Chains A and B, each alone.
Chain A
Amino acid sequence: MSARKTVEHIKNREISATDHLKTCLKNLEQTKHLNAFIRVFEEKALDQAANLDRRIQKGEATGPLAGLVVAVKDNINIAGELTSCGSKILNPFKSPYNATVIDKLESADAIIVGKTNLDEFAMGSSNESSAFGPVKNPHNENRVPGGSSGGSAVAVATGSADVALGSDTGGSIRQPAALTATVGIKPSYGRVSRYGLVAYASSLDQIGTFGKKTDDAAFLLQQIAGYDNLDSTSADIAVPDYNVSLENVKGLKIGVPKEYFAKGLDNEIKSGVLSIVEKLKTDGAEITELEMSSTEYAIAMYYIIATAEASSNLARFDGVRYGLRKGDEDGLIEMYGQTRSEGFGDEVRRRIILGTYVLSAGYYDAYYKKAQQVRRILKNDFDKAFSACDVIVSPTTPATAFKIGEMVDDPLAMYLSDIYTVSANLAGICGISLPAGIHSDGLPFGIQFQAKAFNESILFKLGNYIENNL
C-alpha cells in the first residue's frame, strides 16, 4: 500500500497505527541480520502509535503523516537519542536538540521506528565503513546495499519502514536506492533544511527521502521541504504540491548525454535504461542527444571538494565537547591525536588527510581552486542542457551491487561507482533513482532522472508515469 493510502487508512480507522507499526516491526525483526538499523525505538514507537490511535478514536485532528512509519539515517539528530554517524568517535553523543526535519516529522504525527546504519560520517558507497558493521543487500546477502544511506534503503526495501530519510552528498541516496530496487530522491541544494544533519561536505550535502514507489518519496519530501531560518543555506522558495501526475509524456524533452552511456557501463544496465527511454519516446517524449563533456571530471572534482570540506567539518571531533576521549594524561595535542585516531575509521581518516592536503599551502590553487573552477564549467554544462530538455536520463550506477569486501582496499574503484550521481550535487540540481529492472545476476539496477534546481515535481510526475504506464 502506498504511504499516502496508509495514512488515509489509519485516519479512517480501517487499520490502527499500532497494528501497522507492528507489521513493520515484524518485518524489521525478520530481517535484523541485514544490519540496517543501529537502534530501534520499539517501545517509544508503540507508545506513540497507541497515543495516536486514541486521538483518532476521539476524532481529534491528526497530522499529514499520521501513523506513517519512518526510518531515519543515524546522522540526523533526534533530541534525547544517540547519534552515531556510524562512527566510534561519537560514542556516546545524545543529541540535545531535534533536527528541523525531525521537528517536522513529529508535528506531522509520523512514527520514527529507528536510526539506520550508514557509512561512517556518510563517507562511502557500500555501507562497509560503518563502525557498526556492513549492511547486507536483501537481494543477495553477500552483496553491499550501496551507501552511504544503505540502512535507510534496506529499511524500506524490507518493509521495516514505509519511508526513510537519508542524506546524499555524491549519490548516497540514489545509489543505494538503485542497488535495492527502491526509489530515492536527492532534492535540490537548499530544498530541505540541514539543521541537525551532521555535516560532511557542506556545499554538497542534502537530506532526501526513500520510498517503495515514487509517490512515497514525494509524500515524505512534501512534509520536510521548505525554508528554515536555522539553516542559512536553505532556500526561501515555495514548495509546490508533490501529489502530481502526468496524463502523457507528449512533448516532454528528455536529454540523453552520451557521456553517461560510455565505456565502463554494464551492457545489460545500458540496454535496460535505454529500453525505458525508447518506451517514453513511443509514448510521445522527445529525445535529445546531449554532450556534457565535464561529466568525465566529476569524480575528480568531487573528491577534492568533498574531502576539503570534510577535513574542515570533522575538525570539531576533538574529544572536548562530546563523544570519545583518549590520551588525556598526555596533554592537549596528544589527546586530540589519540582521540581522532581511535575514533575515526580508515575511510574517514583517508578523506581528512586528502582534504587537508588539497587545502594546504602551496597546493590550494592546484587542487581546490582548480576543482571549483571546473565545478563552474560543470554547472554551466547543466544550465545549457536544461535549456534544451526538461530532464536528463542516465543509469544510476555503472554496475549492480558489488560483493561485500570486494573494494575495501581500492578506494578509487569504489569512488568511481558514483560516476553518474556526483554531478547533481556539484551542480545543486535534483535527481531521482527509480528501479529499472533486474540484471541476469539477479540484482536490481536503477534509472536516474535529473532536473534543474527546485524542479522536483517533474521527477515525481515522470516517476509516477513510468510506474503506472510502462
Chain B
Amino acid sequence: MSVTIQDLEKIANLARLKLNEEEKSKFLGQLNQILEYVEKLNEINTDGIEPLSHSLDLVNVLRKDIEQASLDRNKALENAPKKNDAFFRVPKVVTK
C-alpha cells in the first residue's frame, strides 16, 4: 500500500492540518517510508489473537455518582483566546 498525494491531502484535511506544496512532497516520501517499514508486522501471524489496547487489567473505572467540585468556570475560561461572558467564542459557524 502506498499513500498518494490525494490520500495525504485527504488525511491532512481530516486532521485539520494545512500543508504547503513543499511540505506535501516531503511528508509524502517520509510517510511512505515509515508505512513501508511498518509493513513488517505482516510477517507475524496474528490469527485469533485478541488486540491489546493497554497493559493494565482494567475495564471501566467508575466512581460513585456523587457531586464533586470541578474547575471553576472563570478559571477554565482564563486561557481562552476569545470569550463572551461564560462562553468560549468561535468564528461564525452558520453562514447565510
Are B71 and A325 in touch, CB under 8 angstroms?
no
Q: Which A residue sits closest to B79, measured CB to CB?
A: A322
Bound form: Cα–Cα A155–B37 in Å = 35
Binds B, one of A32-40, A67-75, A330-338: A330-338
5 A-B pairs besides A319-B81, A354-B34 with CB distance below 8 A are A96-B78, A335-B91, A349-B19, A373-B52, A412-B33
Inter-subunit contact B52/A379 (CB<8 Å): yes
B residues in contact with A379, CB < 8 Å: 52, 55
User: Which B residues are CB-close (under 8 A) to A415?
Assistant: 34
Q: List 12 A-B contacts (CB under 8 A).
A: A92-B79, A96-B75, A96-B76, A322-B81, A323-B79, A325-B81, A337-B13, A353-B27, A371-B41, A374-B49, A376-B51, A411-B30
- A287 interface residue, CB < 8 Å from B? no
Cα A303 to Cα B82 in complex, Å, equals: 35
- Return A170 CB to nearest CB of chain B, in Å: 14
Task: Report which of B27, B31, B41, B63 forms a contact with A300, defined as CB distance below 8 A.
Answer: B41
- Contact A352-B56, Cβ < 8 Å, known A331-B95, A373-B46, A373-B49: no
Question: Is B40 part of the binding interface, using a Cβ–Cβ cutoff of 8 Å?
Answer: yes
Known A338-B18, A372-B51: A233·B58 in contact at CB below 8 Å: yes
Q: Give which listed residue, B17, B38, B44, B49, contacts A349 with CB less than 8 A.
A: B17
B42 interfacial by beta-carbon distance below 8 Å: yes
Of B17, B41, B79, B90, which contacts A352 at CB under 8 A? B17
Once A350-B30, A356-B14, A376-B49 are accepted as A-B contacts, the answer to whether A341 and B80 lie under 8 Å apart by CB is: no
The A interface, classified by DSSP as helix, strand, loop or mixed, is helix
Chain B residues lying within 8 Å of A92, measured Cβ to Cβ, are 79
Residues of B within 8 Å of A299, CB to CB, are 37
Which of A7-15, A276-284, A362-370, A398-406 lies at the binding interface? A362-370
Interface residues of A, Cβ cutoff 8 Å to B:
92-94, 96-97, 189-190, 202-203, 229, 232-233, 235, 294, 296-297, 299-301, 303-304, 311, 315, 318-325, 328-338, 340-341, 344, 346, 349-350, 352-354, 356-357, 360, 363, 366-367, 369-377, 379, 411-412, 415, 426-429, 453
> Quick one: given A318-B16, A356-B11, are A203 and B81 in contact (CB under 8 Å)?
no
Contacts of A296 in B (CB 8 A): 40
Q: How far is the CB of B5 from chain A (nearest CB, A)?
A: 13
B75 touches A229 (CB 8 A): no
- The reply on B84 being an interface residue by CB < 8 A is no
Nearest Cβ in chain A — how far from B37, in angstroms?
6
Q: Given A96-B71, A357-B31, decide whether A325 and B53 contact each other with a Cβ distance below 8 A.
A: no
Contact of B17 among A353, A426, A453 (CB under 8 A): A353
Task: Say yes or no: B55 contacts A300, CB within 8 Å.
Answer: no
> Which chain B positions have C-beta within 8 A of A366?
1
Docked-complex contact A453 and B55, CB < 8 angstroms: yes
Residue contact B37 to A412, C-beta cutoff 8 Å = yes
Residue of A nearest to B74 (CB): A96
Smallest Cβ distance from B49 to chain A, in angstroms?
A: 4
B41–A301 CB distance below 8 A:
yes
Q: Is the CB of A350 within 8 A of B27?
A: yes
Q: Contact check, A360 vs B14: say whether CB atoms are below 8 A apart.
A: yes
Instruction: Tell me if B50 counts as interface (CB < 8 A to partner A).
Output: yes
CB closest chain-A residue, reference B10: A360
With A325-B82, A330-B91, A332-B90: A375-B18 Cβ-Cβ less than 8 Å: no
Nearest A residue to B75 via CB reads A96
Q: Is the CB of A97 within 8 A of B71?
A: yes
With a cutoff of 8 Å between Cβ atoms, the chain B residues found around residue A94 in the complex are: 78-79
Is the Cβ of A232 less than 8 Å from the Cβ of B61?
Answer: yes
Residue with the greatest number of chain B CB neighbours at <10 A, chosen from A315, A323, A338, A354: A354
B31 x A353 contact (CB < 8 A): yes
Q: Which residues of A contact B1 (CB under 8 A)?
A: 363, 366
A93 to B8, CA, bound (A): 31
The answer to whether residues A321 and B80 also contact, given A340-B16, A373-B51 and a CB cut-off of 8 A, is yes
Give Cα A54 to B49, complex, Å: 61
A338 contact set on B, CB distance < 8 A: 18
CB contact list, B61-83 vs A, under 8 A: 61, 63, 71-72, 75-76, 78-82
Question: For A346, what are the chain B residues with a Cβ–Cβ distance below 8 Å?
Answer: 23
A392 to chain B, nearest CB (A): 16
Are A304 and B49 in contact, CB atoms less than 8 angstroms apart?
no
A357 B3 Cβ-Cβ under 8 A: yes
Residues of A within 8 A of B54 (CB): 189, 202-203, 233, 428
Q: How far is the CA of A379 from the CA of B50 in the complex (A)?
A: 12
Q: How far is the CA of A319 from the CA of B34 in the complex (A)?
A: 30
Judging by beta carbons under 8 Å apart, are A322 and B80 in contact?
yes
For the complex of A and B, 6 pairs with smallest distance between CB atoms: A428-B55, A372-B51, A322-B79, A325-B81, A373-B46, A376-B52
Closest CB in chain A relative to B72 CB, distance in Å: 8
Query: Do A311 and B38 contact each other (CB < 8 Å), given the known contacts A96-B76, A353-B31, A375-B51?
Result: no
With both chains docked as a complex, state the minimum distance between the C-beta of A25 and any C-beta of chain B, in angstroms: 29
